[in-house]
């Protein structure tokens, strides 16, 4: 309730009045007390404003409140929030004098003019209507026994039981607040608040409070829906009974931050825990089922807490399709706060995921991230019947769908309607075959305009499936394509998928095709497709392929294009030799200003290849921040050449990896000279498995003492520095100017 502006306004009015007048009454602790005080103040304010020094006309006040209550009750029964003149007449309200009622409770009941319907009437908020409906029910029994008692032939206690049952049977919960107010009004303390305002004799209507409390607890044990259970706890709170809540609070106090994992609570206690968490002062940002009990029973009992949380982590919890049905209800609720749902490692089966998808289709769904990890035989099908405008209103960020083990011949429709920007779709390792590609291609052709990232790594698409995806797509904003195709003899056909008629409407910023066995022809297809519109591409990962010199040459045409804004290039383990290095570096030198990360690890540049790379690094327009050259057979001469080049242009490089090469002591000394340069801003240096000994350690230590302010990570794993070398480097950590945070010596000998 504290998130509802109207309730905050009521609370502020009541508390301001009580504190300013220094009244002796206790501060309201329940909803009924708050609304009762508000009603009293509104009536008093009206009397004082227009009839100063005149006593309250109890008879007229009672009649007016009773008539408004009758209207509220009858329309609540019908589910109506807006009323018309005939509705008022049925309740004995003269429409000619409706201003009396509006004036009586000007902040509660209002008169408006509809565009076509004439005058319409309503309460300012549904909670007022429910409060007045409960007040009418209560007054009907104690104020009008001759005229109205025949409507309620049972005792007050039995009446309350019956109304509790009616509220539990309501599908939409429209009687939840009403029954809370009615139970609250049954307390003698709340009845006394109304004395002096309403015309009853001053006698209170007594109930068997303990009998009602016992009845409510029995209903909680009957395992109603989680929302109904929470409302029953609110009912107990109105009766000032906190026994179940105190039991759970004692458990929480005993366990502390570790939660209730391992505790066997009763169903009623789990519901009490939900009530405690919802009413906690702590922000409900992340819900972790593992803190309580990783079981379906616990989840279902705590579902209202999940609904109020922004993130729910439900992995490894033995959940079944029953959980999916319940969670579908949560994510499709307009009042749900859930944006991130992790259901990894649960055996939901196809049937469970289909149930969950029903919630995903709902335009009220606000989910941004959905993660399935190691699901068995998942079928995803969503947004099939939802119009694009509705979709764009409820997907607000990035949706991450990770599906595992999709049954080969089960079709699924993917993104048939619009999804708001930054939509990430992961279908890696899903056993997708030709049939899946057909469905995917069909969906993409239907509407690709908002899909941003597509990951199809580790799937057995086969040539027919790849060909289906190779059909040019008319329009799109796809920014990421990742493929790693298994068991396909002509893998290069996958590159045709990239050729999506790359017009100005197609903005790809990330392309990953690592380990796809792409050869010369594939590189030619890729380069041709990307060259037609290169200005948006920012990251290109083609590692672990076989381009040969001709493939590198075609790629070089893309890189030397002045419209190319590539920032990250990965060509690790691609068997690129001296000639390929020369072609590649020549292209990068002609357009060096945008590249920030370059990974050429695991290739064989030779001395000449390293030399041309060094010439690139000397270029003042080169602004590389990350350079990875591990396992490139670079020797003493090559290492020295790189060090000298970097020293001539030292201000940009932040990460340098020269691991698994053979720089020798002389090469390391030249690198140390680079580190001594005050212009050097290097933050991470990796020299693993470089046969570094004591002499090299001494040179590095000396350099870092001279310029200690930037390097925060030094990795010297798998070298032979001896104890003395280790000590020389380790002593740096005692220097207060040293920024080293990570110093690694592993597998030394």
Rounded to an integer, the average pLDDT of 427-444 is 46
pLDDT band at 477 (very low <50, low <70, confident <90, very high): very low
Going by C-alpha positions, the residue among 566, 643, 551, 557 that lies closest to residue 599 is 566
pLDDT band at 180 (very low <50, low <70, confident <90, very high): very high
SS3 59: helix
- Between vectors from CA 591 to CA 590 and to CA 593, what angle results, nearest 5°? 135
Rounded to an integer, the average pLDDT of 118-147 is 78
pLDDT score, position 133: 93
Rounded to an integer, the average pLDDT of 258-266 is 66
- Whole-number Å distance between alpha carbons of 383 and 197: 56
pLDDT score, position 256: 59
pTM of the model: 0.47
The tens digit of pLDDT for each residue in 604-613 reads: 998 888 999 9
SS3 34: helix
- Whole-number Å distance between alpha carbons of 331 and 361: 10
* CA 78 to chain CA mean position, Å: 38
Given CA atoms 38, 43, 47, 53 in this order, what sign does their dihedral have? negative
Any idea where the domains of the chain sit in the sequence?
Answer: 5-207, 218-282
- Between vectors from CA 257 to CA 255 and to CA 261, what angle results, nearest 5°? 55
Going by C-alpha positions, the residue among 586, 585, 591 that lies closest to residue 564 is 591
pLDDT band at 499 (very low <50, low <70, confident <90, very high): very low
Asked if pLDDT for residue 200 goes beyond 80, the answer is no
Is residue 656 a contact partner of residue 625, using CB atoms and an 8 Å limit?
no
- Whole-number Å distance between alpha carbons of 317 and 373: 13
pLDDT band at 204 (very low <50, low <70, confident <90, very high): low
**Beta strands per DSSP E along 427-469:** 451-459
Give the gyration radius of the chain's Cα atoms.
Answer: 36
pLDDT score, position 710: 80
In 325-334, which positions are buried (b, 16+ CB within 10 angstroms) versus exposed (e)? bbbbbbbbbe
Structure tokens at 167: 């509220």
pLDDT score, position 166: 92
Asked if pLDDT for residue 165 goes beyond 70, the answer is yes
Rounded to an integer, the average pLDDT of 134-146 is 75
547 Cβ partners below 8 Å, 6+ apart?
A: 518, 519, 520, 523, 555, 571, 574, 575, 576, 580
pLDDT score, position 27: 84
Is residue 525 a contact partner of residue 496, using CB atoms and an 8 Å limit?
yes
pLDDT score, position 262: 63
pLDDT score, position 431: 40
Lowest mean pLDDT of 19-23, 132-136, 392-396, 523-527, name the range: 392-396
Lowest mean pLDDT of 473-477, 504-508, 588-592, 659-663, name the range: 473-477
Rounded to an integer, the average pLDDT of 385-410 is 31
The tens digit of pLDDT for each residue in 340-376 reads: 787 777 776 656 766 776 776 667 766 655 554 433 2
Rounded to an integer, the average pLDDT of 187-199 is 76
């Amino acid at each position: 309730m504290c998130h509802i502006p109207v309730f905050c306004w009521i609370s502020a009015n009541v508390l301001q009045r009580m504190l300013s007048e220094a009244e002796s009454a206790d501060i309201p602790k329940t909803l009924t007390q708050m609304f009762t005080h508000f009603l009293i103040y509104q009536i008093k304010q009206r009397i004082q404003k227009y009839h100063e020094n005149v006593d309250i006309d109890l008879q007229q006040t009672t009649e007016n409140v009773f008539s408004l209550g009758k209207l509220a009750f009858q329309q609540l029964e019908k589910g109506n929030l807006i009323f018309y003149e005939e509705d008022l007449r049925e309740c004995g309200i003269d429409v000619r004098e409706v201003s009396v009622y509006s004036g009586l409770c000007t902040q509660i009941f209002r008169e408006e003019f509809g565009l076509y319907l004439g005058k319409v009437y309503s309460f300012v908020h549904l909670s007022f209507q429910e409060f007045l409906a409960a007040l009418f029910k209560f007054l009907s029994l104690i104020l009008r026994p001759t005229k109205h008692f025949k409507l309620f032939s049972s005792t007050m206690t039995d009446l309350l039981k019956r109304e509790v049952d009616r509220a539990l049977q309501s599908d939409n919960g429209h009687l939840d607040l009403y029954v809370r107010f009615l139970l609250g009004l049954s307390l003698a303390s709340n009845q006394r608040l109304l004395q002096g305002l309403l015309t009853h004799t001053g006698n209170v209507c007594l109930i068997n409070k303990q009998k009602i409390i016992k009845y409510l607890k029995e209903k909680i044990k009957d395992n109603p829906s989680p929302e109904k259970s929470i409302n029953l706890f609110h009912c107990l709170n109105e009766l000032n009974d906190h026994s179940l809540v105190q039991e759970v609070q004692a458990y929480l106090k005993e366990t502390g931050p570790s939660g209730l994992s391992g505790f066997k609570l009763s169903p009623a206690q789990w519901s009490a825990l939900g009530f405690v968490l919802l009413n906690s002062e702590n922000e409900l940002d992340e819900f972790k089922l593992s803190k309580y009990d990783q079981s379906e029973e616990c989840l279902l009992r705590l579902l209202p807490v999940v609904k109020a949380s922004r993130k729910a982590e439900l992995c490894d919890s033995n959940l079944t399709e029953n959980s999916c049905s319940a969670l579908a209800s949560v994510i499709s609720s307009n009042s749900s706060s859930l944006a991130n749902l992790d259901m990894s490692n649960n055996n939901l089966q196809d049937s469970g995921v289909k149930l969950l998808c029903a919630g995903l289709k709902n335009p009220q769904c606000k989910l941004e991230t959905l993660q399935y990890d190691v699901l068995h035989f998942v079928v995803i099908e969503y947004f099939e019947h939802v119009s694009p405008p509705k979709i764009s209103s409820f997907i607000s960020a990035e949706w991450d769908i990770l599906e595992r083990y999709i049954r080969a011949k089960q079709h699924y429709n993917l993104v048939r309607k619009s999804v708001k920007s930054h939509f990430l779709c992961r279908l890696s390792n899903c056993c997708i075959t030709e049939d899946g590609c057909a469905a995917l291609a069909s969906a993409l052709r239907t509407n690709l305009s908002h899909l941003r990232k597509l990951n199809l790594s580790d799937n057995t698409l086969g040539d027919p499936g790849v060909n289906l995806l190779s059909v040019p797509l008319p329009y799109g904003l796809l920014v990421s394509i990742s493929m790693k195709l298994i068991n396909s003899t002509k893998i290069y056909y996958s590159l045709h998928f990239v050729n999506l008629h790359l017009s100005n409407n197609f903005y790809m910023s990330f392309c990953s095709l690592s380990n796809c066995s792409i050869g010369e022809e594939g590189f030619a297809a890729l380069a041709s497709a990307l060259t037609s519109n290169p200005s948006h591409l920012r990251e290109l990962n083609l590692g672990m392929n076989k381009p040969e010199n001709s493939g590198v040459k075609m790629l070089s045409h893309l890189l030397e294009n002045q419209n190319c804004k590539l920032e990250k290039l990965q060509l690790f383990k691609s068997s690129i030799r001296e000639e390929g290095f020369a072609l590649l570096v020549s292209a990068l030198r002609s357009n060096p200003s945008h590249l920030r990360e370059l990974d050429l690890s695991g290739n064989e540049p030779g001395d000449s290849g390293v030399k041309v790379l060094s010439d690139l690094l000397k270029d003042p327009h080169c602004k590389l921040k990350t350079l990875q050259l591990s396992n490139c057979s670079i020797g003493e001469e090559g290492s020295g050449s790189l060090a000298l080049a970097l020293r001539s242009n030292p201000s940009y490089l932040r990460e340098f990896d020269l691991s698994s090469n053979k720089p020798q002591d002389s090469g390391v000394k030249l690198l140390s000279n680079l580190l001594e340069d005050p212009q050097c801003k290097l933050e991470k240096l990796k020299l693993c498995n470089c046969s570094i000994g004591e002499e090299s350690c001494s040179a590095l230590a000396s350099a870092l003492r001279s310029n200690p302010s930037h390097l925060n990570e030094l990795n010297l794993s798998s070298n032979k520095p001896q104890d003395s070398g280790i000590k020389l480097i380790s002593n740096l950590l005692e220097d207060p100017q040293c920024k080293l945070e990570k110093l690694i010596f592993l597998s030394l000998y």
